[in-house]
Amino acid sequence: MSPPTFPSVTGRPLVLGHRGASAEAPENTLAAFRRAMELGADGFELDVWRCGSGEAVVIHDGDAERTGRSRLRVGRTPLSRLRELDVGRWRGEQFQGERIPSLPQVLDAFPSAVVNVEMKSGQVPDLGLAREVARTLRQHRAEPRVVVSSFSAALLAAFRALAPDVAAGYLVAPGTLWQARAAAAIRLLRPAAIHPARQLVTPARLEAWRRAGLHVLVWTVDDPAEVERLAALGVAAVVSNVPGAAREAVRRATGI
C-alpha cells in the first residue's frame, strides 16, 4: 500500500487558519472558516469531539462554557441540543447566531479547503471518535485534502487502522520528555507528519524529521517574521490565528 498523500502546494508551505481566522471571528465556526478562506488561506485547522448522539462536532473544549455560555458536556449532549447554543455572540453582536458545526457540515461548506482535523481526547480516549472521523471522511470523499492529528497516540493508532490512506499527524507540545514521547509515537504509529509547536522547531530538528520522511506542520504561528523563518526552512504547513498575515509572510519568503 502506498503511503497517504499529505496535502500540499508547490514551492511553499500551506497556510491554515487556527480554528479558522480566530483572531477576527469566533473560533471553530463557519464564520471563522469562511474568513480564513477570504484572507487567502489554503484551509484551516479545527477540533472535533464526538457528541452524545455520536456525530463528530467542531468545538475545542470538552464543554460549551467558554464559547457557548453553557456547561453542557459535549460527549453527553446530542447534536440537536448543542446546535441550539449561540457560539458567536461572545465575539461580537455581528456573529450572533453562529452555531456549533458538525464535521460533515464543514466539509460540505468548504469543498476546496485543506482541513486539519484535530481529534480531541480526555483522560480516556474516545476511540469511537476515530471511527466517526474515518467514516465521515470516507462518506464525503475528503481523504485527499485532510490531515487528521491528535496529541493522543491511542486515537491516532485507531484512526490509522481505520483510514490508512489518510495523512495523520502526531501533535507535539513543549514539556517534560516531549522528545522521547515524539520519537516513540513516530516509531510506533509511522504517521505522515509531525505537528510541533513553533518553539520546538530548529533547523536541526526539522532536518531530522524530514530525513525520517515526515512532513512538518507547525502551530500556532502569528508573528510574520517567524512565519518567514519557518517558510524559508521548508516546513510543510503553518497554522495561524492570522492566516492573511501568515500568507503574506509566506509570499515574502518564497515568492509564491
Per domain, the residue ranges of the chain are: 14-254
Residue 205's SS3 state is: helix
C-alpha to C-alpha distance for 150 and 148, rounded to whole angstroms: 7
Residues identified as active-site: 18, 60
- What pLDDT score does 2 carry? 66
Strands 43-50 and 14-18: parallel
C-alpha to C-alpha distance for 53 and 44, rounded to whole angstroms: 25
Residue 240 confidence class, pLDDT cut points 50, 70, 90: very high
| Paired strand residues for 63 | 73
pLDDT mean over 234-239 = 98
Provide the grid cell at 163.
483510514
C-alpha to C-alpha distance for 119 and 148, rounded to whole angstroms: 7
Provide the grid cell at 56.
463528530
Contacts of 207 (CB under 8 A, 6+ apart): none
In this structure, are residues 87 and 47 in contact, taking their beta carbons and an 8 Å threshold? no
Query: Could you tell me which of 156, 183, 181 has the C-alpha nearest to residue 169?
Result: 156
C-alpha to C-alpha distance for 110 and 69, rounded to whole angstroms: 27
pLDDT tens across 168-222, in order? Answer: 999 999 999 999 999 999 999 999 999 999 999 999 999 999 999 999 999 999 9
Contacts of 115 (CB under 8 A, 6+ apart): 43, 44, 45, 46, 106, 107, 142, 145, 146, 147
pLDDT tens across 83-92, in order? Answer: 999 999 999 9
Distances, alpha carbon 102 to alpha carbons 73, 82, 105, 159, 213, in Å: 16, 10, 5, 18, 33
pLDDT tens across 116-140, in order? Answer: 999 999 999 999 999 999 999 999 9
Residue 13's SS3 state is: coil
Architecture of domain 14-254: Alpha-Beta Barrel (3.20)
C-alpha to C-alpha distance for 194 and 170, rounded to whole angstroms: 5
pTM above 0.85, yes or no: yes
Distances, alpha carbon 1 to alpha carbons 18, 33, 142, 164, 165, in Å: 32, 33, 19, 9, 9
